[in-house]
Amino acid sequence: MISEEKRAKPLMALLNDVPNARVIGPSDVRVFGLATDSRRVRPGDLFVALSGLHTDGHVFVEDAVRRGASAVLVERLPETALTVPVVMVDHARKAMAAAAASFYDHPVRSLSLVGITGTNGKTTTSLLVESILACAGLRVGVIGTLGYRWGEVKEKPDMTTPDAADLQHLFFRMKRDGVSHVVMEVSSHALELHRVDGVFYDVGVFTNLSQDHLDFHGSMERYFNAKRRLFAEHMKESRHAPSMVVNGDDLYGQRLVQEFAAAVCSFGLDSRSTIHPLRYTLGAQGIEASVQTPSGAVSISSSLMGRLNLYNILAAIGAVQSLGISMSAVAEGIAAVNSVEGRLQRLDNECGLQVVVDFAHTPDAMEKALECLRELASGRVWVVFGCGGDRDRTKRPVMGAVAGRYGDMVVITSDNPRTENPEAIVKDIEPGVQSTGKVRFSFEDEVLPLSGYTIEVDRRRAIRETIRRAEPGDLVFIGGKGHETYQILGTQVRPFDDRVVAREALAQRRARTMPTQAAEGVW
C-alpha cells in the first residue's frame, strides 16, 4: 500500500465536485496534502484560505506559498501575483470538504457512521455505542470530545469535530486500519461551518437541546436549525430504517419527530416513545432497568449515575437497534462502561466526602447533574463552578440560579476565563445565586452557614478550600471542565485538571486528620 507521505493527486481531480471552481495559472500540478494553517504547510500541499471569526486565511496565502504550497484555494484573489495556481471558489469551506473527500478517495463510502448531536450527552452516548458495537465483534472508531481513537491509536483532539480535511484524513486512516463502524460526535459548529459536508450517516442521534453557544448561533432557533442539518442534509438512505434516533421527551426532539416521522425511532421515559424503560431504579451504585425496544425487552445494569445517563443509555440502544445489533451485545456493552472521563466522575477517597467532577457547562446540563446528585447526598451539596470567558454571557446568571437551587453551598470561581476579566465573569454569575436567597460567606469564617455562597476566583484555591471546609457526608460537585487538563487564562493555556487538584486536596485533608485519628485510637 502507498504510504500517506507519498500520496498525491492531480489538482484538477480534487475539483470535480467543487462547483464553479476556476483555476488561474497552470492546472497540471499535483497535490500531496491539504492545509488550512500556513504554519503547517508542507511542500506540495493545497493551502485553503478560510475566513474565520478571528483570522482570515487570505492574509497568509503568501506565507503558505513560501512554505511550499503547490496551489492555493481562495474566495478572493490575492493582492500580489503568485507563482502557483490559484483556485477561485464561491465558498472555501464547502470546497475544502469536497476536495478532501476526493483526495482521500471518499473513505466514508466504505464505513458505517453513527452521528450524535445535541447539547448534552454526546460523549457518554458515543462511548456506550462504541462499547456495544465492540461487544458485537465490530471494529470501531470514535471521533469526539475525549479523543480520536481506534485499535491502538489514541489522539487528543483540538476540537470535538475536526475540520473537513482532518476529518477525511481520520476516516481514511480508520478505513485503512480495518475499521468498519465510526461513532462520531457532530457539533453544531461542525454542521454550521461545513466540516461534515459530504459526510452521510447510517444513523443520526439527537440527545437534547438547551441553551449553549448562543455567542456563535445568536438564538435558540438558529442553534436548533444547525443541529437539524444532521437529519435534513447528512443522512444516508439507510438499509436499517428508521435511521434517526431522537429524544421524544425533548421539546426540540419532538419537532424532529414530527418533521421526519417515519424515519424516526424515538426514545424517552414515557411509554409513547419507541424505546422506553418498563421499570428503572437510580441509585448511588448506578442504574438498573428493563428497556422496551422494537426487538423486545432488554435488562440493563450500568455503573453510570442518574436520569441523564438513563437517557444516554436509551439513545445508545436506539442507535445500535437501527444497525441490527443483538440485545445481548447491548446489555454487555452498556455494563462494560464503568465510568466516563469527566462526566459525573466519582473520586474515591477516605475523607467521608462524595466528590464528583463533571463537564456540565450549560444550565440544563448542570441542573440534570445536580438533580441526580441531590438525591444521593446525605449531607450538604457544595457546587464549585464558573463560566467560560468570551462565550455566551446570558447563561451565567441562569447557571448561578441553578447552582443556588440545587446546592446548599455555592462556590463561584473561574472556568476558562480566556481574554475576559475573571472578576467580571463571576459578577455576571452572582445575581443568579443571590436570586435564590443565599447570603455570602467567606472561607475564612470560623463557622460557616448551613447554606450560602462565596466567591473565589482562583479555581485551585476554590477546590482546595471547599474540600477543606466540607464535612463528612457532604457531596462536592466540581462542574464545568470535567475531562479538561488545562485552563485558559488570557491567551495562555496552562496545565490544570480538576481531578488532580481535588485529589491533592483530599490527600492534604487526609494527612491533616491522621494524627487526630491516631490519638483517638483509630489507628
* DSSP code per residue over 115-131: EEESSSSHHHHHHHHHH
Shared-domain flag, residues 188 and 307: yes
pLDDT bin (cut points 50, 70, 90) of residue 519 is very low
**Is 124 annotated among the ligand-binding residues?**
yes
pLDDT score at 239: 58
Task: Give the CATH number of the domain where residue 411 resides.
Answer: 3.90.190.20
**Is 16 annotated among the ligand-binding residues?**
no
**Is 118 annotated among the ligand-binding residues?**
yes
Residue type, 55: T
pLDDT score at 515: 60
pLDDT bin (cut points 50, 70, 90) of residue 483 is very high
SS (H, E, C) 228-285: HHHHHHCECCCCCCCCEEEECCCHHHHHHHHHHHHHEEEECCCCCCCEEEEEEEEECC
Whole-number Å distance between alpha carbons of 145 and 153: 15
Tens-digit pLDDT profile for residues 140-156: 999 999 999 999 999 98
Where a domain ends, among 49, 73, 103?
103
Q: Is pLDDT at 2 greater than 80 in this prediction?
A: no
Shared-domain flag, residues 35 and 173: no
Q: What share of the chain is helix, strand, coil (3-state, %, to 5)?
A: 40, 25, 40
Tens-digit pLDDT profile for residues 213-225: 666 667 989 999 9
Shared-domain flag, residues 124 and 50: no
Shared-domain flag, residues 78 and 119: no
pLDDT, average across residues 264-289: 95
Tens-digit pLDDT profile for residues 295-351: 999 999 999 999 999 999 999 999 999 899 999 999 999 999 999 999 999 999 999
- Mean pLDDT in the chain? 93
Residue 444 within a domain: yes
**Is 79 annotated among the ligand-binding residues?**
no
Residue 134 within a domain: yes
pLDDT bin (cut points 50, 70, 90) of residue 1 is very low
Residue 423 within a domain: yes
CB 318 within 8 A of CB 327: no
pLDDT score at 516: 53
- If we measure between CA atoms, which residue out of 117, 111, 127, 113 comes closest to residue 316? 127
Strands 381-385, 475-479: pairing kind:
parallel
Q: How many domains does the chain have?
A: 3
pLDDT, average across residues 384-413: 96
Whole-number Å distance between alpha carbons of 336 and 303: 9
Where a domain ends, among 73, 103, 133?
103
Shared-domain flag, residues 300 and 203: yes
- If we measure between CA atoms, which residue out of 177, 185, 176 comes closest to residue 315? 185
Listed in sequence order, the residues at least 6 apart from 239 whose beta carbon sits closer than 8 Å to its beta carbon are 202
Range of the domain at 22: 4-103
Angle at alpha carbon of residue 154, lines to 153 and 157, rounded to 5°: 135
- Over the Cα atoms of the chain, what is R_g? 25
CB 515 within 8 A of CB 476: no
Whole-number Å distance between alpha carbons of 36 and 316: 34
Shared-domain flag, residues 85 and 118: no
**Is 309 annotated among the ligand-binding residues?**
no
- If we measure between CA atoms, which residue out of 424, 415, 385 comes closest to residue 496? 415
Max Cα-Cα span within the chain:
86
Task: Give the CATH number of the domain where residue 60 resides.
Answer: 3.40.1390.10
Where a domain ends, among 58, 74, 103?
103
pLDDT bin (cut points 50, 70, 90) of residue 432 is very high
CB 142 within 8 A of CB 183: yes
What's CA 339's distance to the chain center, in Å?
Answer: 16
**Is 480 annotated among the ligand-binding residues?**
yes
pLDDT, average across residues 443-449: 96
**Is 67 annotated among the ligand-binding residues?**
no
Q: Higher model confidence: residue 216 or residue 5?
A: 216
**Is 161 annotated among the ligand-binding residues?**
yes
Shared-domain flag, residues 178 and 310: yes
**Is 281 annotated among the ligand-binding residues?**
no
> How far is the CA of 383 from the CAs of 347, 358, 460, 479, 496, in angstroms?
15, 11, 14, 7, 19
Shared-domain flag, residues 81 and 163: no
Tens-digit pLDDT profile for residues 28-60: 999 999 999 999 999 999 999 998 767 899 999
pLDDT, average across residues 192-211: 93
**Is 119 annotated among the ligand-binding residues?**
yes
Q: Is pLDDT at 128 greater than 50 in this prediction?
A: yes
Residue 261 within a domain: yes
Strands 147-150, 153-155: pairing kind:
antiparallel
pLDDT, average across residues 207-217: 76
- By CB atoms closer than 10 A (0-12, 13-18, 19+), residue 78 is middle
Residue 523 within a domain: no
Shared-domain flag, residues 96 and 113: no
CB 182 within 8 A of CB 141: yes
Q: What is the pTM of this model?
A: 0.86
Angle at alpha carbon of residue 415, lines to 410 and 419, rounded to 5°: 135
pLDDT, average across residues 494-507: 98
**Three-state secondary-structure class, residue 506:** helix
pLDDT bin (cut points 50, 70, 90) of residue 250 is very high
CB 319 within 8 A of CB 129: yes
pLDDT score at 241: 61
**Is 416 annotated among the ligand-binding residues?**
yes
CB 161 within 8 A of CB 186: yes
Tens-digit pLDDT profile for residues 344-382: 999 999 999 999 999 998 898 899 899 989 988 999 999
pLDDT, average across residues 184-192: 93
pLDDT score at 207: 97
Identify the bridge partners of residue 356 per DSSP, sorted by sequence position.
Answer: 346, 477
Task: Give the CATH number of the domain where residue 331 resides.
Answer: 3.40.1190.10
Shared-domain flag, residues 316 and 451: no
CB 282 within 8 A of CB 305: yes
- If we measure between CA atoms, which residue out of 283, 100, 129, 266 comes closest to residue 194? 100
Whole-number Å distance between alpha carbons of 246 and 251: 11
- If we measure between CA atoms, which residue out of 504, 485, 505 comes closest to residue 494? 485
Tens-digit pLDDT profile for residues 58-110: 999 999 999 999 999 999 999 888 999 999 999 999 999 999 999 999 999 99
Residue 355 within a domain: yes
Shared-domain flag, residues 287 and 352: no
**Is 210 annotated among the ligand-binding residues?**
no
Listed in sequence order, the residues at least 6 apart from 214 whose beta carbon sits closer than 8 Å to its beta carbon are 220, 223, 392, 394, 395
**Is 417 annotated among the ligand-binding residues?**
yes
Residue 522 within a domain: no
Residue 411 within a domain: yes
Shared-domain flag, residues 205 and 297: yes
**Is 78 annotated among the ligand-binding residues?**
no
